[in-house]
Amino acid sequence: MPKYPTQPTPPPGQRSIAQDISLQQARVLRGQETRRFDKIRQRHFWSTYNFDPTPNSGAVDPATFLVKPGDYSVFTTASGKPGQGLPTGYQLTDADTNFAGEKRVGDDQNFSIWELGVTVMGPRQDVASGFAASVVQAGALLPVDADSILDQGVLMLKYLTNDVSLGLLSTFSQPGGPSINAPSLLSSKAPHGAIVGPPDFATAGLGPSPLISTVQNSGNIPAAPALRRKFKVPIFLAATETFEFIIRFPRPVQITGATQGGTGAFRLRIDWWAVETYRTRN
Q: What would the pLDDT profile of 174-191 be if each residue is shown by its tens digit?
A: 766 544 555 454 544 555
Average pLDDT, integer, range 266-275 = 93
Average pLDDT over residues 94-123: 91
pLDDT: is 30 or 239 the higher one?
239
The answer on pLDDT for 155 being more than 90 is: yes
The separation between CA 87 and the C-alpha centre of its own chain, rounded to angstroms, equals 17
Q: Is the dihedral of CA 217, 223, 225, 227 positive or negative?
A: positive
Least confident of 14-28, 158-172, 200-214: 200-214
Cα-Cα-Cα-Cα torsion 28, 33, 38, 42, nearest 10 degrees, comes to 0
Q: pLDDT tens for residues 190-246? A: 555 666 666 766 655 544 444 444 444 434 455 565 667 788 889 999 888 999 999
Say what the pTM is. 0.75
Which pLDDT value is given to residue 231? 87
Residues 31, 36, 41, 47, Cα dihedral to 10°: -50
Q: pLDDT at position 10, please? A: 62
Residue 48: band (very low, low, confident or very high) from pLDDT cuts 50, 70, 90: very high
pLDDT of residue 218: 39
Q: How far apart are CA 20 and CA 26, in angstroms?
A: 10
Measured between its terminal Cα atoms, the distance across the chain in Å is 16
Burial of 255 (C-beta count, 10 Å sphere; 0-12/13-18/19+): buried
**Mean pLDDT score of the chain, rounded to an integer?**
81
In this predicted model, what pLDDT tens digit does every residue of 52-92 receive, in sequence order? 999 999 999 999 999 999 999 999 999 999 999 999 999 99
Please report, for the chain, the start and end positions of each structural domain, with discontinuous segments joined by +: 17-179+217-278, 181-215
C-alpha–C-alpha distance, residues 147 and 2, integer Å: 42
Mean pLDDT of 113-133: 92
Higher per-residue pLDDT: 139 or 67: 67
Q: What pLDDT score was predicted for residue 216? A: 41
3-class state of residue 64 by DSSP? coil
pLDDT score recorded for residue 176:
60
Q: What percent of the chain has pLDDT over 70?
A: 73
Q: Which of 158, 135, 139 is nearest to 74 (CA)?
A: 158
